[in-house]
């Protein structure tokens, strides 16, 4: 199939990135959120912590009083007792799309179900029309403020899926916009190819033909352009069958690309067990996940990604099997699932709140869910999701008295101080350089 060679990616950087000041120095006087900080020496309870940032990476983390001599002369940033978390990780989003779907929100309020809206020609396919009709620059301009809203709340890594193009050139457009957003905003973006999201109208009744196109043309072409960090499928009655899902996974495997799955959202399709057999990074939604699915995920080290925004928006009542996941020791991540149909959510803290209130996660589980486990769901467990030596400096200082406040407030965006990719990108706390020794 003849393709116009893609133009080189543009690199406009009006949104931060290298223009922001370096965060190098010693960050003193903060309190770690439990379990999210790996210190280099043991820390007596209540002792203020400090982290050394050098060349944009964390060089050392530990109690302030034990700061190694070699770092004593670096300048200091005084966090004045703020609570620190790693940079948040939003591990499941459909952030790049044309238009919006408030009309469907109204239809559902009038009684239509998500499946009915989809079968009536709304749903994903209506976003496909708007996405196909948009240029790369238009998609960038529409997604930018959404990304900014997430970044303002401390997101330092984000997954962005395709899946509203459903044809090579339009899927490419979405993935290129995702990459450009990462570069322009100075944030880690992991792209996921979700060509198997819905059957495009021109393939109506020809599901196998479209699956073949996804496997044999779209995925190999986009992978060759380095646009695909992972491959996802919507495995569902209204989307792709288990057999079609496996074909896509096989295509990903041939290219050495990791997989993840929209699994058991509306029904138990056996998708999680299949995904686990392919060593999936994550199975997402999983409201209808079975005991077999849980066991397979545990054995494969697959992360369970909980999406309370979609559960809430669809007014779902079938809870994911949280107690069983917890008992099995399957890591649980929490994400926005930002998309125009089922989760127009733009706050990770709100998702943490909903994960607690709707799904009964504990606060530490929810906070690990939006950091450590979310990083694992993207294969970023060695670089993101923990404050630890050797990693790029991505952390957030919060103006709260205790970490539980991060999941407690509803719809409040605390003015935080954010270090992203080693740069001070927001400073709501007004952290200033303090030159006194030991932050006295």
Site track for ligand DI6 across 290-329, x = CB under 6 A: --------------------x-------------------
Spatial CA neighbour of 210 closest among 202, 232, 133, 128: 202
Question: Closest distance between ligand DI6 and the C-beta of residue 21, in Å?
Answer: 38
Pick the piece of the chain touching Fe ion (CB under 5 A) from 81-89, 272-280, 297-305, 334-342: 334-342
Query: Can you read off the two tokens belonging to residue 14?
Result: 């009006």
Angle at alpha carbon of residue 117, lines to 163 and 261, rounded to 5°: 35
Choose, by CB under 5 A, the member of 153, 287, 316, 337 that binds Fe ion: 337
What angle in degrees, to the nearest 10, is found between the helix axes of 168-185 and 124-132?
80
For 136-142, which contacts have Cβ atoms below 8 Å and span 24 or more sequence positions?
A: 136/173, 136/176, 136/177, 136/180, 138/98, 139/96, 139/97, 139/98, 139/173, 139/174, 139/177, 140/177, 140/180, 140/181, 140/184, 142/96, 142/97, 142/98
Footprint (CB under 6 A) of ligand DI6, residues 333-392: 337, 339-342
Report the run of H or E that residue 8 belongs to, with start and end.
none
Enumerate the β-bridge partners of residue 93. 338
User: Which one of Fe ion, ligand DI6, none is in contact with 25 (Cβ closer than 5 to 8 A by kind)?
Assistant: none
Instruction: Give, as ranges, the residues between 193 and 212 that touch ligand DI6 (CB under 6 A).
Output: 197
d(CA 108, CA 97): 21
In whole angstroms, how close is the CB of 239 to ligand DI6 at the nearest point? 7
Our CB check for Fe ion shows the closer of 197 and 391 to be: 197
Beta carbon nearer to ligand DI6, 25 or 340: 340
Question: From ligand DI6, Fe ion, none, which one binds at residue 342 (CB under 5 to 8 Å depending on kind)?
Answer: ligand DI6
Choose the contact partner of 127 out of Fe ion, ligand DI6, none; CB within 5 to 8 A by kind: ligand DI6
- Separation between Cα atoms, residue 399 and residue 393, nearest integer Å: 19
Given Fe ion, ligand DI6, none, residue 180, with its beta carbon under 5 to 8 Å by kind, binds none
For 352-428, list the strands marked E by DSSP.
387-388, 395-398, 417-420, 423-427
Tokens of 154: 């401390």
Residue whose CB is less far from Fe ion, 244 or 337: 337
Could you give the string, one character per residue 112-141, with x where binding to ligand DI6 holds by CB under 6 A and - elsewhere?
-----------xx--x--------------
* Torsional sign, CA 37, 306, 190, 347: negative
Q: Looking only at residues 229 through 268 of this chain, which bind ligand DI6 when binding is defined by CB under 6 A?
A: 234, 262, 265
Per the structure block, which two tokens stand in for 80?
A: 């004045």
- Minimum CB distance to ligand DI6, residue 260 (Å): 11
> Considering CB under 6 A, how many residues would be counted as binding ligand DI6?
14
In 3D, which of 345, 363, 387, 398 has the Cα closest to residue 90? 345
Interface contacts to ligand DI6, rule CB under 6 A: 94, 123-124, 127, 197, 234, 262, 265, 310, 337, 339-342
Interface contacts to Fe ion, rule CB under 5 A: 337
């Amino acid at each position: 199939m003849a393709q116009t060679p893609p133009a080189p990616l543009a690199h406009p950087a009006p949104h931060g990135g290298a223009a922001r000041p370096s965060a190098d120095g010693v960050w003193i006087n903060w309190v770690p959120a439990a379990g999210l900080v790996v210190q280099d020496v043991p820390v007596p309870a209540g002792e203020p912590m400090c982290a050394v940032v050098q060349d944009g990476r964390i060089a050392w983390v530990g109690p302030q009083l034990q700061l190694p001599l070699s770092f004593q002369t670096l300048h200091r940033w005084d966090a004045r007792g703020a609570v620190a978390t790693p940079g948040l990780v939003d591990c499941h989003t459909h952030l790049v799309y044309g238009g919006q779907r408030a009309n469907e929100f109204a239809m559902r309020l009038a009684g239509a179900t998500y499946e009915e809206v989809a079968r009536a020609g709304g749903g994903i396919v209506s976003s496909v029309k708007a996405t196909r009709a948009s240029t790369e620059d238009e998609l960038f301009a529409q997604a930018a403020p959404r990304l900014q809203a997430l970044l303002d709340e401390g997101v330092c890594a984000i997954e962005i899926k395709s899946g509203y193009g459903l044809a090579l050139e339009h899927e490419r457009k979405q993935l290129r916009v995702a990459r450009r957003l990462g570069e322009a905003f100075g944030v880690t973006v992991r792209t996921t190819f979700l060509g198997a999201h819905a059957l495009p109208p021109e393939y109506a009744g020809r599901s196998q033909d479209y699956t073949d196109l996804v496997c044999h043309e779209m995925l190999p072409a986009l992978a060759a352009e380095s646009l695909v960090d992972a491959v996802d499928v919507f495995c569902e009655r209204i989307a792709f069958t288990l057999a079609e899902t496996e074909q896509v996974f096989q295509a990903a495997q041939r290219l050495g690309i990791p997989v993840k799955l929209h699994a058991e959202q509306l029904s138990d399709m056996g998708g999680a067990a299949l995904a686990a057999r392919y060593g999936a990074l994550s199975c997402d939604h999983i409201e209808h996940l079975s005991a077999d699915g849980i066991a397979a995920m545990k054995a494969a080290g697959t992360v369970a990604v909980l999406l309370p925004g979609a559960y809430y928006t669809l007014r779902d009542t079938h809870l994911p099997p949280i107690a069983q996941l917890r008992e099995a020791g399957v890591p649980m991540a929490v994400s926005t699932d930002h998309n125009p149909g089922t989760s127009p959510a733009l706050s990770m803290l709100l998702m943490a709140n909903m994960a607690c209130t709707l799904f009964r996660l504990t606060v530490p589980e929810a906070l690990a869910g939006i950091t450590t486990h979310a990083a694992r769901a993207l294969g970023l467990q060695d670089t993101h999701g923990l404050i630890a030596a050797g990693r790029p400096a991505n952390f957030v200082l919060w103006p709260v008295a205790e970490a539980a406040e991060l999941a407690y407030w509803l719809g409040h965006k605390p003015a935080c101080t954010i270090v992203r990719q080693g740069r001070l990108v927001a400073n709501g706390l007004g952290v200033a350089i303090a030159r006194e020794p030991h932050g006295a």
